[in-house]
A and B are shown apart, each in its own frame.
Chain A
Amino acid sequence: MNRKAGCALIVGGGISGMRAALDLAETGYGVTLVEQAPYLGGIVSRLDHQFPTNHCGMCRMLPLLDRESGSQSCLRKDLVHENIDIRLSTQVMTVAGDAGGYEVSLREQPAGVDRLKCVGCGACTQVCPVEVPDAFNSGLSMRKAIYPAAPYRVLNSYRIDFSACTRCGACAAACPTGAVVLREMERKQFRVLVVDDELIVRDSIREWLMEEGFDAEMAGSGQEALGRLGGSAFQLMLLDIKMPGMDGVEVLKKAKEIAPQINVVMMTAYATVETAIEAMKTGALEYLIKPFEIDVLMPMVEKRFAEFMAARDEKIRVGAIVLAGGAAFYNPAGGKNTLGYGVYPNILTNAEFERLISNAGPFSGRPVRSADGKPISRIAWIQCVGSRDLQAGADFCSGICCMISIKEAILAHEKLGANLATDIYYMDIRACGKNYHRYKEAAETSGNVNFIRGRAHTVVQDADSGDLKIRCVSVSGAETETAYDLVVLAAGQRPHPDMALLAEKYDLALNEWGFAETLPFSRIRSRKQGVFLAGSFAGLKDIRESVTEASAAALAASRSLHQAGGGIAPVPAKTSTGARNVSREPSRILVIICSCDGMLTPHLDAADIEHRLKKDPSVTGLLVFNRICAGPEMEGLIQEIKSRRPNRLLIAAGAACADKVRDAGKSAGIHPALIRVAEIRSPAFIIAEPQASNEPARIFQDRMRILIMGISELKYAEPESLPETAVVRRALVVGGGIAGMSAALAIADHGYPVDLIERSEKLGGNLNWIRQTLEGHAVGPFLEDIRQKTEKHPQIHVYSSADIVSTWGEAGRFYSAVAERDGAVVQLEHGAVILATGGGEAPTQLYGHGAHPAVMTQKELEQSLQSNAVDPEKLESVVMIQCVGSREAPRNYCSRICCQTAVKQALYLKSRNPAIQIYVLYRDMMTVGFSESYYTKARKAGILFIPYTLDNKPRVDTGRSRAAVTVFEPIIDQSLEIEADLIVLATGVAPDFPQQLAEIFETERDADGFFQEADVKWRPVDAMKPGLFGCGIMNAPQSIPDAVASAEAAAQRALGILSRQSLPAGRITARVRHSLCSRCRICIDACPYHARAWNAEMERIDVNAAACQGCGACAAICPNSAAVVDGLLMPQFLEMIDACF
């Protein structure tokens, strides 16, 4: 794809960073993705399964359009995209400049292993004598000092932990490919020459330097010093002034001639200070007055060393920065109540438990108690450890721990069987994300997870058995004690450990708990222009939120880059490969094998292999080399290939050699799509070899099979790809609430026209009736600003009082008909659709609503307060009832915003009239994240919160003049009757996305009538149908900032289409052989990507090549291979399978 001029920096390679990087890369921007750890994926890389699907699915983040711009493989293994430059084990050192032009310096930690040479055989790990706790497994297992960065990573990801390494050299000796570079530590590269005529002085200084890890040499005279300087490079010279023969100043002058770059520090006695000062004019940096102590010398040396390192740092220029640095977890051992963590071995945190049960963890998915190997039959989770805890300075909820613990309990049942007992001790179960409430219910009913509401305050260990006892006080005050094999603490969030430094580096504001703070109404904007936040950096997020915010942050970065002129694409990349068209020639495959010093193919007999391979007439020949990477000249290799006249090339060699052959093949005129690498160096063989060396015949057979499979695959490969689909670079946004307007502005700000359809007369949706947020931000001015921008934007055309009548077409080219109120129908063309049809407060007739004027909904209260129909001064008693018709059938979901709304209104009423008695009747208070602090404030303000359960709901009596509510109060263990002036019902959110509209856009609604996303975690705003996106509360109940974030995420996803002239088809794309096709059309239903359609006019199936993902569902369901996937043809596969046997 065409690469634009703009570049962005993403700091943090967790899923947020990856999502933001991919989003920007897909719209053509260059991205540098910096990650401190040696692997990508952050916290998620250490979780096998994630809620609420209990799958992984990270690969669903991969680009669906222009798939060939990156690799299509598991993202735990690697992320590859032509526009993303990934820097692992790297840190951002300095940041300078402003939005549009930041200069950033990067420093990489050396890995000690050459990635191109490493084949991942693990021989180094086998011989390494050093064992240290494996941080990836939370210290539950040990690893060597040379180790693979993460269990799923691509093979060549071995690295040395220099802090543990003893430099014994065993790994370097064992490495078959010479990949281990036991590079000296960085400090060793900083070489200091100490010049002094007094041996005792120079010797002690040298000793000090060596002790600090620097490399130091001595010279006893000026002459000797100059000799050494001529011999090798030094970074620093400590030079005595008063020496016999040549004095220091003279040495300095001569030294500057020999090595102009050298830093010189003069050492002087008090008497010659003036000389030293004089010397600084000739190029000395500073001077030290003798005698000096180590603590005078070392800071000076350290400063010079830091400069030396900084000079070697890479500097890059970027226009925008996305910070996705993640968060840390609370360490219960450091808290006032450790709950036994760090004292008793069988108490783990959530993160540690994930590793315990992981298939790639220390017990290979068959967990036992790590301390004593005892089978596990009873596990307890204690929630809110270091969260919602004022003593721990944590007046916040960590947002996702409830769901993590529920998931872990479900996974534990899967691993340990149905007889396992799992208890979760909690205050409120905050399963408030999309579909989470059902997930929790399923865990409780079919999953056998037991939920215990109460305060687990103490954990004690039975010294003999190692078993644990949890003491808990229930809501009614009853004390219980229960025994477990294992206790898991849901340790809450803490800011990134370096947050203070980062805040200074990027000029961030921090909230009172030290997390990065965003601007009002935004989840991603920091106070610094051009710096955006994504994911858990601003507070722990689940995957869905992280991915949404990352896309929104990408949008903000993209907007910033665009405004700075970065949207211009320089010269279009050349598309012609110069390869001749070979589609009509029979396959002629040349096989090239590199024996790599015989290490990798010990049983290789070239003549025998050639004889076997040439049985297949498509093989023209075999070339065997040793060490291609070091060996033949490029030109010779090209000539050698040309002389065989192949049209396809199969390479069996290591990465470096294969790259060289590939380049030679391309230069020899072979189409890049027809050059393949056969993995005969698969680790299965290499690792098996030490044991299997007595089976050379089998190894040889295995390798032959792989070669033959490669030939079978390659001989049918075709270089031609399908034509590109032209894109209509214009968007349709349906719905003019905050989400619709935000999406429209986001796209229009990139210069693409937007048609915004609003059913009512006025833009603004729900924001028209909301006064202010829980945090106290006024909604009116915010809405007015957005509305003005939308209405005045030259690229936005607003159709108010208008409805969508019909839509057809596909990603890149849709056609819609819009009916205006006056009856006029407008035809629109657009490349992408964003649905933002909103929703509203669900109507209710429960609790006497409609029957008594005192009973009103939260929305009605808000409106009554604005119109002064309700005067807080005149109220004595208010009862709020939460979850009215919510979190039970038929609206069995949490609406997420009602608890905050109740707290907001209660606090407002209290502020207007402190004498009001306010009671909030709730099931679980869902004040997630930092909104928890308002719940605390509300309780401090005297607002009473009374929990109720579904089987014992409050009752409202509207039969008398003053309405009353009866509720069971569990603490005093009796029913209360509360007379109330107002009874306020929180009925939750109902989406406004009728089935008919879903059908118009050929998409689906979920069980609750919300927009059905392609994947609840990984593709939260995409519909399954390409080119269609959904955001705001029609997608899921959410707050204003969340709606803005989801809208901007949807806009960014849409820009992935709109920013292209045309949509390229992937090389592996489905096609129809019309002459064979029986027109049964089952492939249309089978296609999960809506890439197939019946063309009634031509009486045939059409495939949208850009939408097709090459999954092969059509080819599988088509009985006679009339539906085929180019690149994965049936004869190809039959032959490949055949080659295995």
Chain B
Amino acid sequence: MSTPRKLEVAEQDVLGALRSFFESILAMEDTGAILAPRRLPVQSVVMPALIGDPKYLREIDPLAPAFFLNAARMVSRLSRKSPGQKIAVVLRPCEIRAFIELVKLKQGALDELLIIGLDCLGAYRNSDYRRYASEGPDASTLKFFFGALSGSPSVMAGIDLTAACKVCEHPIPTGADIAVGFLGISPLDHLLVQAQSTKGEEMLARLGLEQTLVPASRTEAIEALVSARFHARDKFFDQTREATNSLEKLTAYLAGCVNCYNCRVACPVCYCRECVFTTDVFDHEPFQYLQWAHRKGEIKMPTDTVFYHLTRLVHMSTACVGCGQCSNACPSEIPLTELFRATAVRTQRIFDYEAGMDPDAPPPMTVFREKEFVEVVGLSE
């Protein structure tokens, strides 16, 4: 990792500093556009926007506790084939990690991207954010920002970080070319900008930012935050496992599923063009339903809901980055994130793999080792 640099914050305007930083990147002749979260003018909604004209950078709000979708999928659309120009993308850590998973699955490429990651303070559920942000654009973002920095992300009664964010052990944007940090420093004075790749270093060198040191306070702050998250995470894993440790309990856990498949659409790493559950494989003949009904006495409709979630766990849990969008998207408010993360932590551990962390680590299922899982396959040697 290269020497950190200072991004000066003029007049305590954190958002302003970020906007002008992005503006300077867009001003580089080889930057074609910037993808960044932009607050829509009318509604309290923050969505990724691909910005070509610097004037729209004034509307970006990467600090808002809004996380309407995981932008990894959008970046995938921009980089699935060569876009022809360099694109800078501003992403949350979990978006970066999801995107790295997509890159491994050939759904995107890093070559023409400059990934800018920010320390992440978490986000609210979509409905909560709409309610929260009604009191004014920048003000609400900053209120959350400073609240969360001081350890109180719940700055309005009844509104708190999502379940996923509360247990997220990756608030730092690993995998970004340029990391923008504010945890453990004084963001009213300056932000910390650090290149994490050659690409990032080249960019920062051209921007001519002043070099600085990482203060010990930052390392301490991150350690404290991560350790608290780990603690919360393990507790939440225990609870989830307790609630799902038999087929009966799992069926009850997922009972509200209406087969809308929103979770799969929202999941950044669920990358199939067409899900197998919407293909002819699950297009059962009417007589088949009748046979089930006769054999078992009754058959819940729609069928295959537990099967669907189990399949998604099999397919995607080794790639799950814990962004929480599945829960965010569920109309029946099924705590899917909890189930996915509790499963993913184990499936990833047995393959000694952590989704989104190392771009060079092959996805577990693509690697064949003759001698592994002796306890599962029953063959020794």
Closest Cβ of chain B: how far from A171's Cβ, in Å?
38
A645 to B169, CA, bound (A): 65
- With A1085-B366, A1119-B315, A1120-B274 as known contacts, state yes or no: A1080 contacts B285, CB within 8 Å: no
A1048 to B366, CA, bound (A): 35
Which B residues are CB-close (under 8 A) to A1117? 365-366
Query: B106 in the interface, Cβ–Cβ < 8 Å?
Result: yes
Query: A1077 in the interface, Cβ–Cβ < 8 Å?
Result: yes
Interface 1/0 per residue, B291-332 and A, CB below 8 Å = 100010000000000000000000110000000000000000
Interface 1/0 per residue, A1075-1097 and B, CB below 8 Å = 11111111001101000000000
Query: A410 in the interface, Cβ–Cβ < 8 Å?
Result: yes
Closest Cβ of chain B: how far from A50's Cβ, in Å?
12
Query: A55 in the interface, Cβ–Cβ < 8 Å?
Result: yes
Enumerate A412-443 residues with CB–CB distance to B below 8 Å.
Answer: 414
Which B residues are CB-close (under 8 A) to A410? 381
**Interface-facing stretch out of B214-222, B227-235, B275-283:** B275-283
Query: B380 in the interface, Cβ–Cβ < 8 Å?
Result: yes
A861 to B24, CA, bound (A): 73
Asked whether, in the complex, the Cβ of A615 is within 8 Å of the Cβ of B281, the reply is no
Closest Cβ of chain A: how far from B307's Cβ, in Å?
9
Asked whether, in the complex, the Cβ of A1076 is within 8 Å of the Cβ of B106, the reply is no
Closest Cβ of chain A: how far from B172's Cβ, in Å?
28
A414 to B381, CA, bound (A): 10
Query: A54 in the interface, Cβ–Cβ < 8 Å?
Result: yes
Interface 1/0 per residue, A1056-1086 and B, CB below 8 Å = 0000000000000000000111111110011
CB closest residue in chain B, given A442: B381
Query: B271 in the interface, Cβ–Cβ < 8 Å?
Result: yes
Closest Cβ of chain B: how far from A97's Cβ, in Å?
48
Asked whether, in the complex, the Cβ of A615 is within 8 Å of the Cβ of B273, the reply is no
> Of the candidates A1075, A1079, A1082, A1134, which one forms a contact with B366 in the assembled complex, judged by CB atoms under 8 Å apart?
A1082
Closest Cβ of chain B: how far from A3's Cβ, in Å?
37
Interface 1/0 per residue, A435-467 and B, CB below 8 Å = 000000000000000000000000000000000
A1117 to B366, CA, bound (A): 8
> Of the candidates A54, A616, A1119, which one forms a contact with B380 in the assembled complex, judged by CB atoms under 8 Å apart?
A54
Query: B105 in the interface, Cβ–Cβ < 8 Å?
Result: yes
Which B residues are CB-close (under 8 A) to A1075? 274
- With A1078-B271, A1080-B107 as known contacts, state yes or no: A1121 contacts B285, CB within 8 Å: no
Asked whether, in the complex, the Cβ of A1131 is within 8 Å of the Cβ of B281, the reply is yes
> Of the candidates B105, B276, B368, which one forms a contact with A1120 in the assembled complex, judged by CB atoms under 8 Å apart?
B276
Closest Cβ of chain A: how far from B59's Cβ, in Å?
33
Asked whether, in the complex, the Cβ of B363 is within 8 Å of the Cβ of A1130, the reply is no
Asked whether, in the complex, the Cβ of B362 is within 8 Å of the Cβ of A1085, the reply is yes
> Of the candidates B272, B290, B295, B362, which one forms a contact with A1119 in the assembled complex, judged by CB atoms under 8 Å apart?
B272
Interface 1/0 per residue, B246-281 and A, CB below 8 Å = 000000000000000000000000011111100111
Query: B379 in the interface, Cβ–Cβ < 8 Å?
Result: yes
A121 to B93, CA, bound (A): 65
Asked whether, in the complex, the Cβ of B273 is within 8 Å of the Cβ of A616, the reply is no
Closest Cβ of chain A: how far from B199's Cβ, in Å?
25
Enumerate B343-381 residues with CB–CB distance to A below 8 Å.
Answer: 362-363, 365-368, 379-381
Closest Cβ of chain A: how far from B104's Cβ, in Å?
8
**Secondary structure of the A contact surface, majority rule:** loop
A55 to B380, CA, bound (A): 9
Query: A617 in the interface, Cβ–Cβ < 8 Å?
Result: yes
Query: A53 in the interface, Cβ–Cβ < 8 Å?
Result: yes
A162 to B232, CA, bound (A): 76
A1077 to B107, CA, bound (A): 12
> Of the candidates B291, B316, B362, B381, which one forms a contact with A54 in the assembled complex, judged by CB atoms under 8 Å apart?
B381
Total number of A residues with any Cβ neighbor in B under 8 Å: 29
Interface 1/0 per residue, A155-188 and B, CB below 8 Å = 0000000000000000000000000000000000
A410 to B366, CA, bound (A): 31
Closest Cβ of chain A: how far from B252's Cβ, in Å?
21
> Of the candidates B279, B316, B380, B381, which one forms a contact with A1076 in the assembled complex, judged by CB atoms under 8 Å apart?
B279
Which A residues are CB-close (under 8 A) to B281? 1121, 1130-1131, 1134
Closest Cβ of chain A: how far from B170's Cβ, in Å?
24
A143 to B314, CA, bound (A): 48
A508 to B126, CA, bound (A): 88
Closest Cβ of chain B: how far from A407's Cβ, in Å?
10
A616 to B107, CA, bound (A): 41
Asked whether, in the complex, the Cβ of B105 is within 8 Å of the Cβ of A1080, the reply is yes
Which A residues are CB-close (under 8 A) to B275? 1120
Interface 1/0 per residue, A1118-1133 and B, CB below 8 Å = 0111100000001100
CB closest residue in chain B, given A1094: B106
> Of the candidates B106, B276, B287, B288, which one forms a contact with A1080 in the assembled complex, judged by CB atoms under 8 Å apart?
B106
Closest Cβ of chain B: how far from A1064's Cβ, in Å?
27
Closest Cβ of chain B: how far from A346's Cβ, in Å?
27
Asked whether, in the complex, the Cβ of A1121 is within 8 Å of the Cβ of B279, the reply is yes
Most buried by B among A53, A1075, A1081, A1082: A1082
Which A residues are CB-close (under 8 A) to B380? 54, 414
Which B residues are CB-close (under 8 A) to A414? 380
Which B residues are CB-close (under 8 A) to A615? 287, 290-291
> Of the candidates A54, A617, A1134, A1141, which one forms a contact with B285 in the assembled complex, judged by CB atoms under 8 Å apart?
A617
Asked whether, in the complex, the Cβ of A55 is within 8 Å of the Cβ of B315, the reply is no
Which A residues are CB-close (under 8 A) to B106? 1079-1081
A1131 to B105, CA, bound (A): 26
> Of the candidates A54, A1077, A1131, A1141, which one forms a contact with B280 in the assembled complex, judged by CB atoms under 8 Å apart?
A1131
A616 to B285, CA, bound (A): 9
Asked whether, in the complex, the Cβ of A1078 is within 8 Å of the Cβ of B287, the reply is no
A1082 to B381, CA, bound (A): 27
A643 to B44, CA, bound (A): 71
Asked whether, in the complex, the Cβ of A1078 is within 8 Å of the Cβ of B363, the reply is no
A1078 to B275, CA, bound (A): 10
Which A residues are CB-close (under 8 A) to B363? 1082
Closest Cβ of chain B: how far from A365's Cβ, in Å?
13
- With A1082-B105, A1085-B366 as known contacts, state yes or no: A1120 contacts B287, CB within 8 Å: no
A41 to B29, CA, bound (A): 73
Closest Cβ of chain A: how far from B289's Cβ, in Å?
12
Which B residues are CB-close (under 8 A) to A1119? 271-272, 276, 315-316
Contacts A615-B287, A1086-B366 given; 17 further ones with Cβ under 8 A? Answer: A54-B381, A410-B381, A615-B290, A617-B287, A1076-B273, A1078-B107, A1081-B106, A1085-B362, A1088-B368, A1119-B271, A1119-B272, A1119-B315, A1120-B273, A1120-B276, A1122-B272, A1130-B281, A1135-B288
A–B complex contacts, Cβ < 8 Å, 5 sampled:
A1076-B273, A1077-B273, A1120-B272, A1120-B276, A1130-B281
Interface positions of B (Cβ within 8 A of A): 105-107, 271-276, 279-281, 285, 287-288, 290-291, 295, 315-316, 362-363, 365-368, 379-381
Q: Which 10 A-B pairs have the closest CB atoms?
A: A1085-B366, A1120-B272, A1080-B105, A1120-B276, A1119-B315, A54-B381, A1078-B273, A1130-B281, A1121-B276, A1082-B366
Interface positions of A (Cβ within 8 A of B): 53-55, 410, 414, 615-617, 1075-1082, 1085-1086, 1088, 1117, 1119-1122, 1130-1131, 1134-1135, 1141
